[in-house]
Structure 1
């Protein structure tokens, strides 16, 4: 059975539509995890499936861009909550947590000790503080979001656009529609490189993307396009953060 017949057998004949490309990628990613297919086996099958729906594109464009668009579709269907909560493992040792309400009240936790955040905002972009209200007010359309974020960056930091957009995926309390727009904006940035399937330090499977930093190094994110969650972040200098949880929740910190 050739690749085209395999895809038709697995998924049926794809139906054209605005989300068809994302649907195909989500199915391929799920099947790859179940069957542990190698990347070399998946690429021709994916290309054949997408060829039934879209006009011919370059395979490299289809791979990375389609995965980000698939993640965007999932992110848009997310739900809200009372608290934005992020739990991270830093450099393989230190665990931190952050809770933030929509009104801007925030708490951090490290080694079990919960502390109220006062003074500066717990969020920033290229060294500039951001309030929860500013983050919540970001546009939910990718072109408008890219332009707004670019305008918020300090002069001389234009190279941080990809990093700033990526921060809206997991480090900041973005609305689901804004997270989806950030994924779509990243999909159209030529400086974002797709590195292929990877596993993070905890053995979780995902897809890796990298982009440049002002320091001259690069940052690599591993994402799960099926859940739209960022699994880990690693800089070329060795700094790493494993995401143990990120999203809106109704469960706040256990305050005394």
Structure 2
């Protein structure tokens, strides 16, 4: 039949307008697939329900460049101030704050109520307490940091190295050089996957990286490489932490 049509009417000529319409449809569908998972945190923020979806994986070489860019930014971050201050939003609703002095005194606040922390360190790694002095003594070389953190993890904690290094980026008062080393170490871990550009539940743009946990679920961090800040952490169970503030300040708890 196709040969008969060509004999009668000749070879069909492509219609540029039709080609353009087809191309627009293809690219629109690709864009929708790419953006669908990004819209989930925004919808969750509006509804108060935390949802989780894994975006498609991207080439890790591009992700490695992004992590190294974040490392450069982290190395130049100021670390002056009286208090290490972290303010987070948990699962879309519960807000907590932490203040820690360089001498180890600490306060927490939940929904505005401030309490003094006593009896244990406000920092931990894989369930073990971590003092401010131990954090400050961490090396600023990526290979040495990876080795030191691996040695600090308790027995049976295989698969927690990426999570422990990630915690040095925002949950702990790591020195700028240590944060930079943590980013470089993460860039070399084979279990870290780059998921591409992302937007957190507050609409802040960043880059998403994921790694598995021993429980079998994945944790996804969205980072801003320009500022080296971690914007959010979400795991496969739907548990989320949105980082509102993480850094040194002279303003203590009220």
TM over 0.5: yes
The aligned counterpart of 1:156 is 156
Report the equivalent of 1:70.
69
Correspondence for 2:142:
142
Contact 2:66 2:225 in 1 (8 A): yes
Q: Distance in 1 between matches of 2:114 and 2:194?
A: 38
State TM-score, norm by structure 2: 0.76
Runs ≥4 residues deviating over 3 A: none
5 Å-filtered alignment, 1:107-256, equals 107-254=107-254
Q: Aligned partners of 1:85 and 1:253: how far apart in 2?
A: 9
Per-residue CA deviation, residues 183-238 of structure 1 (Å, 9 max, x unaligned), is 00000001000000010001100000001111010100000001100000001001
How many Å apart are 1:253 and its aligned residue?
A: 1.2
Which structure 1 segments of 5+ residues have no match? 1-37, 39-58
Matches within 5 A, 1:27-46: none
**Bigger radius of gyration among the two:** 2
Aligned length: 197
Identify the residue that residue 49 of structure 2 maps to in structure 1. Answer: none
What TM-score does the superposition give when structure 1 sets the normalisation length?
A: 0.75
User: What is the CA distance between 1:60 and its match in structure 2?
Assistant: 2.2
RMSD, aligned CA: 1.1
Distance 1:185 1:191 in 2: 12
Larger RCO: Structure 1 or Structure 2 (Cα < 8 Å, ≥ 6 residues apart)?
Answer: 2
User: Does structure 1 conserve the Cα–Cα contact (< 8 Å) formed by 2:233 and 2:240?
Assistant: yes
